[in-house]
Amino acid sequence: MRKTFKFRLYPSRQQVKIFNKVLNNCRCLYNAQLEYERFIYEKDRRFANRIELNNILPDLKIINPSLKQVHSQILQNVNDRVIKSFKSFFNSIQRGQNVGYPRFKSGYRYNSFVYPQIGFKISNGKLKLSKIGNVSIKLHRAIKGNIKTLTIMRNSTNKWFACFSVQQKITPQKRSLTKMIGIDLGLEHFATLSTGAVIDNPRCLKKSLELLKLRSRQLSKKKKGSANHYKTRIRLAKLHEKVFNQRLDFLHKVTPRLVTEYDGIALEDLKVSSMKNKYLQFSINDVAWNKFRQLLTYKAEEAGCKLDFRNPRYTSKRCSKCGMIQEMPLSKRIYNCSCGNSLSRDLNSAFNILNQSCFSIT
């Protein structure tokens, strides 16, 4: 199992300058390699592979001597990013998606560099980075597993983080399927369980929306490149960061409680990217269903909890008691069936999800 441990870094002013310089060198290399890929394609109707990009690094170091100050494997990882961007581009084209050609990176769009294998170690509570030095790090928990890569990342509020990607061997405790539930994800309530319990929607973005609008209007009035524009942008970014942290904290509290309390969880296999409703898009983005699914999946694997994702079709329209289907517009919050079944539409959906799951057979 692959897992990431994220820690806050507290670099000195001099180290911040070095970090930013490394980022800028990596960005320049990325743009240069992207331009080289375009040149090769126009000339030979093909794209250079990873070996070809790595082979021209010595020539680029002669042209740009500052690249010599960056660890060699960081530079090779930049080439990997270029290759990955083109693979993603062609895969999207093959799926029929209308996507843009890989584009050059500006200073705001390149915020991390990676040590793929070597060049770093933790010693005496410090993170030692090759060609940078010892950086203060907040190790709030132990790193469990075999460290594969280290990513140094700068966020939108100019905070620095170290992200260790590790390989773990998970041997979860075997659990018998004695307690199973169905979960209906919604907007009025974040989730409704087939037990009748309801998890309220925190509405993190909605609570800060007015202040976000104010900060955005203030930023639009500032001259780009000025000190006031930078300060206002940071204030806006900090507010977005606060909303993000509130939402993530909520999800990190909900998901472990579910996987420890229940042995099997059935929920809808929602395709959030295909949900295009101009009236509900704001609320859909605020609940972060994809992030919830991501956290629930890996925590369930660690805890030995079984997950079953079901097709969401007709889960709101079908009666959980007799199976009859009727139209249920969003404004209709109570499901009333001719068989006498009358309950909340969300609870009815949760029952249907559980009844359709593999747990109902076992």
pLDDT by residue, tens only, the chain of 362 residues: 889 999 999 999 999 999 999 999 999 999 999 999 888 888 888 888 899 999 999 999 999 999 999 999 999 999 999 999 988 888 888 888 888 888 999 888 899 999 998 899 998 889 999 999 999 999 999 998 899 999 999 999 999 999 999 998 888 778 888 899 999 999 989 999 999 999 999 999 999 999 999 999 999 999 998 999 999 999 999 999 999 999 999 999 999 999 999 999 999 998 887 777 777 888 888 999 999 999 999 999 999 999 999 988 889 999 988 888 988 888 888 989 988 889 999 999 999 999 998 887 54
CB 10 within 8 A of CB 142: no
**Residues 128 and 185 both lie in one domain:** no
3-state SS string over 191-249?
A: EEECCCCEEECCCHHHHCHHHHHHHHHHHHCCCCCCHHHHHHHHHHHHHHHHHHHHHHH
Range of the domain at 248: 180-360
Q: Is residue 46, in this structure, part of any structural domain at all?
A: yes
Same-domain pairing of 140 and 22: yes
Verify that 85 and 227 share a domain, yes or no.
Answer: no
Domain-terminating residue out of 136, 167, 198: 167
Please tell me the predicted confidence (pLDDT) of residue 362: 45
Task: Residue 120: count other Cβ atoms within 10 Å of its Cβ.
Answer: 20
Q: In this structure, are 9 and 108 located in the same domain?
A: yes
Name the one residue in this structure whose structure tokens are 């010892």: 134
| Domain stops at, among 167, 188, 208 | 167
Residues 136 and 229 in one domain: no
Model pLDDT, residue 361: 57
What residue has token string 């972060």?
Answer: 288
| 215 and 341 within one domain | yes
**Residue 260 placed within a domain:** yes
The answer to whether residue 172 sits within a structural domain is: no
Q: Which two tokens stand for residue 67?
A: 């690249």
Handedness of CA 224, 230, 231, 236 (dihedral sign): positive
In a domain, 25, yes or no: yes
What is the domain count for the chain? 2
Cα dihedral: 309, 289, 312, 343 (round 10):
110
> Among 121, 137, 167, which residue terminates a domain?
167
Please indicate, yes or no, whether residues 16 and 163 belong to a single structural domain of this protein: yes
CA–CA distance from 111 to each of 15, 154, 347, 355 (Å)?
15, 5, 44, 46
The alpha carbon of residue 44 and the mean position of all alpha carbons in its chain are separated, in whole angstroms, by 37
3-state secondary structure (DSSP) of residue 302: helix
Residues 49 and 191 in one domain: no
Q: What are the respective helix, strand and coil percentages of the chain, to the nearest 5?
A: 45, 20, 35
* Residue positions counted in the chain: 362
My answer on whether 323 and 204 are in the same domain is: yes
Do both 97 and 151 map to the same domain? yes
In a domain, 175, yes or no: no
Are the C-beta atoms of residues 272 and 280 closer than 8 Å to each other?
no
Q: Are residues 78 and 119 in the same domain?
A: yes
Whether 141 and 196 map to the same domain: the answer is no
Who contacts 220 (Cβ-Cβ below 8 Å, separation ≥6)? none
Encoded tokens for 239: 């507010």
